Structure 1
Amino acid sequence: MNREESEWLSLIISYLSVSLENLYLIRKLNMKLLELASELPNQEGSEEYVWFRKTMFDLQEKERTRIATDLHDTTMQDIFFVQRKLKNLQKQLLNPDEHRQLKDILNHLELINMNLRQCCFELNPYLLKNIGLVRALQNLVDTESSLGDYEIQFVTEGKTTAMENLDYEAKRHIFRVIQELITNAKKHSQASRLFIRLVASGSEVSIRYEDDGIGFRPNSSSGKTVGRSGMGLEQMKGRVLHLNGQFTMESMTGKGVEVRIQIPIKEGIPT
């Protein structure tokens, strides 16, 4: 590669480095906020507690959206520019070995772009507004199933219109909870099968999650954060409480995890 192309690759690497550093700092701050939230009295009716949860979630979503926008508008565009330059260079190469090496580089850049697109969707699930909650979740499940070595069974029952009639914030919280359940299973459960059922009745939306993984002891330090992930158990519970819902979980070491969530859809959902 010539000097200009090398400089563009160096620029992309620096963008990725800054983005990863920002993600690390956000994760660290997020964990501090979760620790503080878990130490507060469990007073769901307290206006201060409700305000704290809402503020924390709003800050997280704004920062996720900002990072996703930066990745899309800078890093991904720069990668596209480098790909175009390399494709033009490829046409000029006569040496078979150089041609093959350049093709491998282009394939690797395309893989990076695919991963970045998936990261942008996870950070900012724009499909929630475009195609609704159920189809956005199906898109998430399809993507995770194609990338993982486990089976995900996703089932919806009842009137899906009731789910789609929820306000955007409620749908976003439901999406985030299911997204984190899948992420935790992928990273920590060692499960071969995940089952997720989303049901809308006349008065509530319910979620049931099961996996056949290694499980954990709920009272242990690892159980508190479900594999010590960024969101963890406390934040999932906080999202459900924010929607005036109920969150219950059962797990034993070697027995997998089962989560049941009920969220009212007729009254009390904050906006």
Structure 2
Amino acid sequence: MFPADAEPNRLLVIFLLLVVLMSFTLYALEYFTTKLERVIFPRKYRLQQSLKKIAKNLGLISSLRELKDIILLDIVETLQVFGGAIVFKYKDSMEMVMVGEIDESEAGRLAEAESPEHPSYLRREIIRNEEYDCYLILAQKKTNTHLGFEETQWLNLIISYLSVSLENLHLIRKMTARLEQLAAHIPSEETSAEFAWFRKLIFELQEKERVRIAVDLHDTTMQDLFFLKRRCNSLIERNVFSAEGITHMKGIVEYIDVINMNLRQSCFELHPYLLQEIGLVMTIEKQIGLEIVSAPFEIEFHAVPSYLIESCDLEMKRHLFRIVQELLNNAKKHSQASRVKIDITVLGSHLTLSYEDDGVGFDVNEAVPREIGGSRSGVEYMKSRILSLNGRWRLITSKGDGMKLMADFPINKERAAG
């Protein structure tokens, strides 16, 4: 390649030029290969992009619905399978989220089976602990082929990510539940001031979760019902049914309206947005109007003077609404009353909430363990809200003599004057 009499300096220069040229060619080849990866290696590119998206979204999961919409849907679409499910198997129950075409009963049986082998479904274990086992179950690929090597590696990596995320989600739920129990068990008004920040944190977390659930119901389930009703009405208008079939379809449409109304009521109870729009008094009146339909007792409500009640800050209104809401719920479940009376009054710098029913009452010493053991609401939970507002309360009840609850709250004079 070179003359025999070539000088060493010239050979060195040519060598360096060749090295630079080859390095530039190799780097250019790598650059263009990366840029054209989606064309040259489409499957690898799709798996990498999906992995980045799922890894980013795993930190946003706070509910099973989000697990379905954010993660499971991407897994099904990326692997191009007919459907998938994530199954949570507890000691005495089972919970499942599904996407696409998958048999719920068959997925449940596969989750309980000792062997993961199945002619139509693929089962992979995500996490196993003392409280529950979690499995990912996938249907067949749309191409009727098995998962390739790259797809299998990708799925194993996703499962490892999921196991960490679900374990963290489980621990957060347990800690939140424990914190709520602790907040309800703070013993007295004297010690409650020291835990004001703690109560506020718990109630803020609860309100945030309620709002999230209400928004989910409105944006998903209620919208689905709306389109289902339109579809049913369209079929009725096209006269595709006999006279008897049309009657049945109209009955289904009416039942959809009932479900929709119940969901609207649930959304309102979860997120009383009207507190800011029409105030506390009218919001409670609206809640009572909804309760009268199903409550087995008469409800009497008075609030005076309303303009002073509405001068309270939004946080106090929200707590008062939740207390009234809990009183009505407990009355429906336990009181067996024929009459319920609720009064809210403002005198000077204090607001007073009183409740009275003529129900069966209960033993005060037994009520606290029963309520706390049954749920995180009830008498102790109302007490927790009262104490969070620096209020004082008095409960009068015994078996067979109904129940009376009186709570007194200080009002911020500057806000009340405004």
Q: Which TM-score tier does this pair reach, normalised by the shorter chain?
A: 0.7 to 0.9
- Alpha-carbon distance change, 234 to 168 in structure 1, aligned in 2, over 3 angstroms: same
Q: Does residue 1:76 correspond to 2:230, yes or no?
A: no
Q: Letter of the aligned partner of 2:272 in structure 1?
A: P
2:395 partner SS = strand
Equivalent residue number for residue 241 of structure 1: 387
Letter of the aligned partner of 2:192 in structure 1?
E
Q: 1:107 to 1:186 in 2, by over 3 A?
A: same
After superposition, the C-alpha distances for 1:119-158 in whole angstroms (9 at most, x for unaligned) are: 000000011011000000111111111222210000122x
Unaligned residue ranges in structure 1 (runs of 5+): 1-16, 19-24
1:197 correspondence with 2:343: yes
Task: Select which of 116, 124, 127 maps to 2:271.
Answer: 124
**TM-score with structure 2 length normalisation?**
0.55
Pairwise CA RMSD? 2.5
Q: Check conservation: 1:184, 1:227, Cα contact below 8 A.
A: no
Aligned to 1:13: none
CA–CA distance in 1 between the matches of 2:299 and 2:273? Answer: 22
**Structure 2 residue aligned with 1:7:** none
CA distance in 1: counterparts of 2:236 and 2:373, whole angstroms: 45
Distance 1:28 1:234, change over 3 A: farther
Q: Indicate how the Cα distance of structure 1 residues 99 and 29 shifts in structure 2: closer, same or farther if over 3 A, else same.
A: farther
Tell me the residue number matched to 1:45: 193
SS in 2 for 1:219: helix
The secondary structure found in structure 1 opposite 2:193 is coil
| AA in 2 matched with 1:99 | I
Q: For residues 92-117 of structure 1, give each alpha carbon's deviation from its aligned partner in whole angstroms, at most 9, with x where no partner exists.
A: 23411111111111111110000000
User: How far off is 1:28 after superposition?
Assistant: 8.0
AA at the equivalent of 1:110 = D
Residue 145 in 1 paired to residue 292 in 2?
A: yes
Q: Give per-residue Cα distances to partners, 1:68-93, cap 9 Å, x unaligned.
A: 01101111011001100110001123
Q: Runs in 1 of length 4+ with deviation above 6 angstroms?
A: 25-30
| Secondary structure class of the residue paired with 2:404 | strand
Q: Deviations over 1:224-243 (max 9, x none)?
A: 62894542112211111111
State the 1:211 CA deviation. 0.7
Of 355, 365, 372 in structure 2, the residue corresponding to residue 209 of structure 1 is 355
**Which one of 61, 82, 85 corresponds to residue 231 of structure 2?**
85
Q: Is the CA contact (8 Å cut-off) linking 1:216 and 1:252 kept in structure 2?
A: yes
Task: Say if 2:356 and 2:405, in contact at 8 Å, map to a contact too.
Answer: yes
Q: Offset at 1:251?
A: 0.8
Residue range with higher mean Cα deviation, 116-125 or 201-210: 201-210
Within 2, Cα distance between the matches of 1:183 and 1:227? 17
Counterpart of 1:33? Answer: 179
**Is 1:98 the equivalent of 2:279?**
no
Superposition deviation, residue 39 in structure 1:
4.3
What secondary structure is seen at the aligned counterpart in 1 of 2:277?
helix
Distance (Å, rounded) in 1 between the aligned partners of 2:228 and 2:260: 12
Look up the match of 1:185: 331
- Could you tell me how far apart the structure 1 residues matched to 2:340 and 2:372 are? 16
Q: Kindly indicate whether the alpha-carbon contact (under 8 Å) linking 1:177 and 1:239 is maintained by their aligned counterparts in 2.
A: yes
Contact kept? 1:215, 1:255, Cα under 8 Å: yes
How far is the alpha carbon of 1:34 from its aligned partner?
Answer: 3.6
- Taking the aligned partners of 2:249 and 2:210, their CA distance within structure 1 comes to 34
Amino acid at match of 1:252: S
In 2, Cα distance between equivalents of 1:154 and 1:30: 34
Please identify, of 61-70 and 234-243, the stretch whose mean Cα deviation from structure 2 is larger: 234-243
Report the residue type matching 2:252 in the other structure: I
Contact 2:185–2:380 under 8 Å retained in 1: no
Identical-pair percentage: 44
Mapped contact 2:368–2:379 kept (Cα < 8 A)? no
Which residue identity is paired with 2:345?
V
The structure, 1 or 2, with the larger RCO (C-alpha pairs under 8 Å, 6+ apart) is 1
Structure 1 position 188, deviation (Å): 1.2
What residue is the counterpart of 1:11 in the other structure? none
